[in-house]
Amino acid sequence: MFELIQLTERTFYIQSPAKIGLVRLEEDEVCLIDSGNDKDAGRKVRQLLDAKGWKLRAILNTHANADHIGGNRYLQGQTGCRIFAPGIDCAITRYPILEPAFLYGGYPCKDLRHKFLLAQESGAEPLTSELLPEGFEAIPLPGHFFDMVGYRTPDDVVFLADCLSSRETLEKYKVGFIYDVAAYLDTLEKVKALSARLFVPSHAEATEDIAPLAQHNIDLVREIAEKVFSLCAEPRCFEALLQRLFADYGLTMNFEQYVLVGSTLRSYLSYLRDAGRLVPVFEDGMLLWAQS
């Protein structure tokens, strides 16, 4: 873990639970794409940089999930580097309590205020094309999270953040976290058509051909959407639907899975509602979902 993997002359990634991109800029300066899941990850990255004699100029965050911004504060404090994050994700990076609050739908209890869902605050700046290092391109990848982006490096390596998961991850967890199902599917269709020297997803192996994995993710999302739709053949409340998803996919309930899968289920319900396939029914002081 935290091994430096060289992909091209200038582009590397650091193997960690969520891959950290590293690109050499000029002379001994580098930038990172994301920073790992916590202070300890940041410390290991700094040790790696020190061993190579590299200076950290900037961190380019793809989105504001805690496992991607957790090393920000430590690395910024140690190196004075600038941090850039896209759109709404910049606000969450600056005020990370917004992530567990959004997932829970209220003030998160202490069971949710930990490093898996709550990163430390860092001084992120809004990402604009003018602030990117020379030769970089930010690629909008909405769907998984609010304003998530990927990055194309000057030597044509594309870091895809969390816009898709490995087959192994999907087999284990079944229901991957999604904020906007329609945008997620549109993003995956766009990714299928992208060309690049190499693709580096955060939670899958680097590859020259991303299309098959993108299609696998699309197929699973559509399967889950149909599953949710079928469960609404008789009107059901959210909690009953969530219980069936956990049972049918063999998932284990804990607080983290409750908010992650629960938030994703609400996104599927919104997707089906906006498509005109489900209708909300208010009955006896309860919101039920039913096929239209």
- In terms of phi and psi (left: phi > 0; alpha: psi -120 to 50; beta: otherwise), the region of 142 is beta
Q: Within 13 A of 28's CA, how many CA atoms are on the CB side?
A: 7
**What is the structure's pLDDT at 292?**
97
The pLDDT-based confidence of 211 (bands split at 50, 70, 90) is very high
Identify the pLDDT of residue 252. 94
CA dihedral (165, 177, 150, 5) positive or negative: negative
- So where are the chain's domains? 4-141, 232-291
Q: Residue 46 — φ and ψ, nearest 5°?
A: -60, -40
Residue 40 tokens, joined? 């300890």
Contact between residue 83 and residue 59 where contact means Cβ atoms under 8 Å apart: yes
pLDDT at 63 over 90: yes
- The arrangement of secondary structure in 232-291, i.e. its CATH architecture, is Orthogonal Bundle (1.10)
Residue 27 confidence (pLDDT) = 85
Instruction: Mark 121-156 as b/e (b = at least 16 C-beta within 10 Å).
Output: ebebeebeeeebbeebebbebbbbbbbbbbbbbbbe
Q: Are 214 and 191 in contact (CB under 8 A)?
A: yes
3-state secondary structure of 173: helix
Handedness of CA 56, 62, 64, 69 (dihedral sign): negative
Cα gap 96→35, rounded to integer Å: 15
The reported pLDDT for the residue numbered 280 is 98
Q: What is the pLDDT of residue 26?
A: 87
Tell me the C-alpha to C-alpha distance, in Å, between residue 172 and each of 207, 210, 218, 249, 251. 21, 20, 17, 10, 9
> What is the pLDDT confidence band of residue 241, given thresholds at 50, 70 and 90?
very high
CA pseudo-torsion sign 124, 266, 273, 175: positive
- Per residue in 183-198, pLDDT (tens digit) is 999 999 999 999 999 9
Measured in degrees and rounded to the nearest 5, phi and psi for residue 269 equal: -60, -40
Q: What is the pLDDT of residue 5?
A: 97
Q: Are strands 20-24 and 4-6 parallel, antiparallel or unpaired?
A: unpaired
Backbone phi, then psi, for 141, in 5-degree steps? -135, 60
Percent of the chain topping pLDDT 90: 98
Q: What percent of the chain has pLDDT over 70?
A: 100
Q: Report the C-alpha gap between 278 and 105 in whole angstroms.
A: 22
Q: Look at residue 249 and tell me whether its pLDDT is greater than 90.
A: yes
What is the per-residue pLDDT for 247? 97
Under 8 Å CB-to-CB from 221, ≥6 apart: which residues? 178, 181, 184, 185, 188
Average pLDDT over all residues of the chain: 97
Tell me what the mean pLDDT of segment 122-129 comes to: 96
Determine the pLDDT at residue 257: 96
Per-residue confidence band for 277, with pLDDT thresholds at 50, 70 and 90: very high
pLDDT value for 1:
85
Q: Residue 21's beta-bridge partner residues?
A: 13, 33
Q: Does 3.30.565.10 match the CATH number of domain 4-141?
A: no
User: Is it the case that residue 75 has pLDDT exceeding 90?
Assistant: yes
Confidence band (pLDDT; 50, 70, 90) for 10?
A: very high
| Cα end-to-end distance, the chain, whole Å | 49
Q: Tell me the pLDDT tens digit for each residue of 147-187.
A: 999 999 999 999 999 999 999 999 999 999 999 999 999 99
Would the CA dihedral through 239, 243, 248, 252 be positive or negative?
Answer: positive
Q: Each residue of 170-187: b (16+ CB within 10 Å) or e?
A: beeebbbbbbbbebbbeb
- Residues contacting 129, CB < 8 A, separation 6+: 138
- State residue 203's pLDDT score: 96
